[in-house]
Structure 1
Amino acid sequence: MEFRVLGPIDVRVQGRDVTPSAPKQRQVLALLVARANHRVSVPALLNEVWDGEPPRTATTALQTYIGAIRKALATASGTGAREIADHRLVTDGNGYVLRLADDEWDRPRFESLVLEARGLLERREAHTAGEVLGRALAMWRGAPFCNVRHGSRLTAQARVLNEAHLAACEARIDALLLCRRFQEAIGAAVALVGDHPYHENVHAQLMRALYASGRRAAALEVYQSLRRRMTDDLGIPPSPSTTTLHHVMLQDSPDQTYLAAAGAGTLL
């Protein structure tokens, strides 16, 4: 079996899609997969599915959903529902645990690749790090759980996954800068800036990539746009580190040691 959460919730057996089509069943399964190998209590599931206001029949309905998910997994995998209940989707006190091995779902594989890439970056093996991060990011298929209605818990789980995706994207840009692949870094950073208009680090990455490719005016304009947006919308200026990068780039004879350390070593 393969369970995927880096995008729409998706369950496959030998390439065949066995994801529940019923919305509430899919929502229950999504939370169980998001919390794989951890107990999810019945109250947590009830609150997730019924927005904190479960009807009197909710517990019985939840048991029906769990039974249907077990049956679907059993049928797809050629085993019995009892086998699934004993070893895959098990009852644990007043809750349920979906047991998954690391190679049965995408999140551990993604996290392992990102961890490997960070180690490579620390050793300045940027080319290999970029390749590993590319493999990790290729696993993403869209917004996490986008085919499921989000309650409070799935909203939190989606936020965690989105933050992990953003961090991996930033790390890949760092790898591209270290490899002096500035045009690719510009493209990747532009996409992130559009999605995260107040995120200073991705703006700084775009500034460094533009400056290193000989486009100082464009790099300075990125800063000015960020400053105006933060001042007008949030009432705060950019951080000292971002401001320092801007000041260095303003100089006709900038501190090349600083720029190199910042990942903006110029080709000029």
Structure 2
Amino acid sequence: MDDVKMPATQWGNCMEQDPVVEIDFLGPVRIRVDQQVCEANDKKAILMLFVLAVRGSTSRQQMASLLWPGTDSERSQGSLRLRIHKLNRICPGLIQSHLNSIALHPAVRHDLGFLTQDQEIPLQVALAAHRGHLIGSMEFPDNPQLNAMITHYRQQIINKSASLLYRNAKACALNKDYRQSIEFLNQILLLSPHNEAACRHLMRVHVLSGCRAAAIETYEGFRKNMRESLGIEPDTKTKRLHMDILTLQHDSDYHESMQADLDSSVI
């Protein structure tokens, strides 16, 4: 970030219009000031932005302890001031400093609002969530507290994504748009490969779409994955559904039963 040269833009000056500052945390972290892109390369500065985006105003002591655990207070506070200075070189006022706390300027826009506010996760984010690109897939094995916080928010993204994808999958299946429903369900299994409810739902949709063989293949692939990754078999409900698909295809109530199970299923 030291090499980034940005215009001397700041909030509340005599300019006719305040700058538009946007931060992308999903994927490689990027800061845009009036559409001019800056790639942030200082990991600790990136993490500070991330913490402020998801937690809001944070005490200087908490931030320094989180980013530099085990470092004496004077040194960690000096490192914190350096990162604040770097970020405020991009856009003066980006990081608002108070006596004992720091915060993002309230006008800053970022793509994690669905984690901090009562917002639906965007569908395009849910569809890409299996890539796990929150803050560029950074890992910090030597900082358990920081790693735990990042893991927590990654899991929130997975949970919110799976919930939205399931609702879309179910709506598509009820409207007999089985192809789209199958795509959504496959995305859930990319996010959560051991999700038995999603596997059963996908098997039922394959049957309703007329692809019994695909339903059986889905079970067999899921069973193989469970065995190889966890050393266990699918649960009783999943096995029973597999047997039903194998043996009840000529039953007159077969499809009606599958549809009823689909209507009542929950992931």
Q: Give TM-score scaled by structure 1 length.
A: 0.68
Matched-pair contact (CA < 8 Å) for 2:185–2:202: yes
Could you say if the C-alpha distance between residues 29 and 214 of structure 1 is closer, same or farther in structure 2, counting changes exceeding 3 Å?
same
Match of 2:60 in 1: 42
Aligned with 2:77 (options 39, 55, 59): 59
Q: Could you say what secondary structure the match of 2:102 adopts?
A: strand
Match of 1:187 in 2: 183
Q: Could you say what secondary structure the match of 1:30 adopts?
A: helix
Percent identity of the aligned residues? 20
- Aligned partners of 2:164, 2:52: CA distance in 1, in Å? 25
Aligned with 2:91 (options 73, 77, 86): 73
Match of 1:217 in 2: 213
Q: Could you say what secondary structure the match of 2:71 adopts?
A: coil
Match of 2:112 in 1: 107
Unaligned stretches of 5+ residues in structure 2? 1-20, 141-145
Could you say if the C-alpha distance between residues 156 and 176 of structure 1 is closer, same or farther in structure 2, counting changes exceeding 3 Å?
same
- Could you give the per-residue CA deviations for residues 149-203 of structure 1, whole angstroms, max 9, x where no partner exists? 5432233323322332233233322232222221233334334434533122332
Could you say if the C-alpha distance between residues 106 and 47 of structure 1 is closer, same or farther in structure 2, counting changes exceeding 3 Å?
same
1:143 maps to 2:133: yes
RCO comparison, higher one (Cα < 8 Å, 6+):
1
Match of 2:257 in 1: 258
Matched-pair contact (CA < 8 Å) for 1:182–1:210: yes
Instruction: Please identify which structure carries the higher helix content.
Output: 1
1:2 maps to 2:22: yes
- Matched letter for residue 75 of structure 2: T
Deviation at 1:219, TM superposition (A): 0.4
- Aligned partners of 1:156, 1:47: CA distance in 2, in Å? 19
Matched-pair contact (CA < 8 Å) for 1:39–1:92: no
Q: Could you say what secondary structure the match of 2:120 adopts?
A: helix
Match of 2:156 in 1: 160
- Matched letter for residue 245 of structure 1: L
Deviation at 1:5, TM superposition (A): 2.7
Match of 1:129 in 2: none
Q: How many residues were matched structurally?
A: 231
Matched-pair contact (CA < 8 Å) for 1:8–1:142: no
- Aligned partners of 2:222, 2:158: CA distance in 1, in Å? 22
Q: For the aligned residues, what is the CA RMSD? A: 3.4
Residues 106-125 of structure 1: pairs in structure 2 closer than 5 A: 106-108=111-113, 114=120
Q: Give TM-score scaled by structure 2 length.
A: 0.68
Could you say if the C-alpha distance between residues 149 and 233 of structure 1 is closer, same or farther in structure 2, counting changes exceeding 3 Å?
closer
Match of 1:98 in 2: 104
Aligned with 2:222 (options 213, 222, 226): 226
- Matched letter for residue 70 of structure 2: E
1:196 maps to 2:192: yes
Q: Could you say what secondary structure the match of 1:45 adopts?
A: helix
Could you say if the C-alpha distance between residues 139 and 245 of structure 1 is closer, same or farther in structure 2, counting changes exceeding 3 Å?
closer
Could you say if the C-alpha distance between residues 201 and 7 of structure 1 is closer, same or farther in structure 2, counting changes exceeding 3 Å?
farther
- Matched letter for residue 57 of structure 1: R
